[in-house]
Amino acid sequence: MQNIITSETLTGRHTAYVINAPEIAMKAEPGQLVMVRSNYWPGPIPHAIADYDRDKGTVTIVVRTPRFEETRVGDAIVEPGDTGSQSPVGPSTEAVLSRDPGSSEHPPLSGDNASFELTGPLGRPGRTETTGKIVCVTKGSGVAALFPRLRQYKEKGWYTIVIAGYSNKDDIFWAERLDRHSDELYVVTDDGSFGIKGPVRQTLKAVCEHTNDIDQVFAVGSLKLLKISSDITRNYMIPTLISLNAVLDGEDSRVADAVVTNGEAPSDFDWNQAADLDGHMQDFDELTHKLGIQIAK
C-alpha cells in the first residue's frame, strides 16, 4: 500500500491526491493510467495519471465526487427520490476516494493509516512524435487526464491551443496549470459564469473555423465530448486523436463500476488503446457497446 502524501480539494466535486509510488512514478508517461485499490474498498478502480514527479517519487490522481447528497440502494448510489438511477461516478469511487485522509467518517482512510495500492502504469503512452499546432479539447474530469499530455506537447515544441470546459465557475480547477503550458487558452462554462458561455463544441467550431494550419486535435473527456469533437473536426479534415482515460476513470461511471464488480476491464477492452484512438475511425455505437455504457444526450 502506498501512502497519501497530500490531498487537495480542488472544487466541491474534485479532489487531488498525491500518492507516494516511486516505482510507478519512474515509469509513468503522459496518457497512462493506474489501477487503484484502497484499504477501504477492495475492488480496483482505473484512474488517469494526472501528474507524476520522478524525483519525489509521487503520482497524482484527481477524483470526482457526486453533485448531490447521495443515498444507497444496495451497492448503488442514487439521487434523493430516485430508486433506480446511478450517480455520476461509481459507488466504489465515491466511497473510497472522496474523503479527506484526515476525515474520521471512514476510519480506514484516516490519519496515518490512509493508503492506496496503485498498480501500473497501464497502457501505452500518448503519441507526440511530431510537432505542429494542436488544439486540445477537454471538459470536467478530462482536465486532469489532459494535463500531463499538454505539458508534454509543450515540451516537444507544439503550439498549444486549449479549450477547457466546465459546468460553472465553481467547477473550474487546474486552469492555471493549463495556462502555464498553453499558447492560447479558452475557458468555457455552460452557464457563462466564467469565460466563454456555451458548450465546448461551439468554441471548438470557432477555433477550427478561424485558426489556420491546425495539425491535430486531441480530445479527452466523456464519450459525448469525444464523439462531438470528432464529428466537428471531420468536417474540417483535421486529424483527431481521442483518449478514453477520463471515460475509464469515472466520467462515465458504469465503466468504473464494471471494473470494480468484475475485477477486470470491460469485455474486449484493450488498455493499450486507452490513450490514443483515431476519432474519425471510431464507430461510437460499437465503442459504447464494448464499454457497456451509453453516450449522454
List, as one string, the DSSP characters of 89-141: S-HHHHHHHSS-TT-SSSGGGSGGG-EEEEEEEESPPPP--S-SEEEEEEETT
Q: Is the pLDDT of residue 156 over 70?
A: yes
pLDDT tens readout for residues 38-80:
765 556 778 899 999 999 999 999 987 654 333 333 333 333 3
Q: pLDDT class for 26, splitting at 50, 70, 90? A: very high
Mean pLDDT of 254-281: 63
Among 97, 122, 147, the domain-final residue is 122
Could you give the CA distance from residue 181 to residue 93 in angstroms, rounded to a whole number? Answer: 29
Do 112 and 144 sit in the same domain of this protein?
no
CATH number for the domain including 159?
3.40.50.80
Measured from the Cβ of residue 80, the count of other Cβ atoms closer than 10 Å reads: 8
Among 64, 88, 122, the domain-final residue is 122
In a domain, 116, yes or no: yes
**Could you tell me the CA-to-CA distances from 169 to 12, 40, 68, 100 in Å, in that order?**
11, 32, 18, 23
Which structural domain, as residue segments, surrounds residue 193? Answer: 133-291
Q: Per the structure block, which three cell numbers stand in for 91?
A: 459507488
In a domain, 208, yes or no: yes
| Total domains, the chain | 2
Q: Per the structure block, which three cell numbers stand in for 183?
A: 499558447
Do 154 and 233 sit in the same domain of this protein?
yes
**Regarding beta strands 33-38 and 45-48, do their DSSP bridges make them parallel or antiparallel, or are they unpaired?**
antiparallel
- Backbone φ and ψ of 5, nearest 5°: -80, -50
Do 111 and 12 sit in the same domain of this protein?
yes
Among 122, 157, 185, the domain-final residue is 122
Phi/psi-derived region of residue 141, left when phi > 0, alpha when psi is between -120 and 50, beta in every other case: alpha
Do 83 and 223 sit in the same domain of this protein?
no
Do 108 and 170 sit in the same domain of this protein?
no
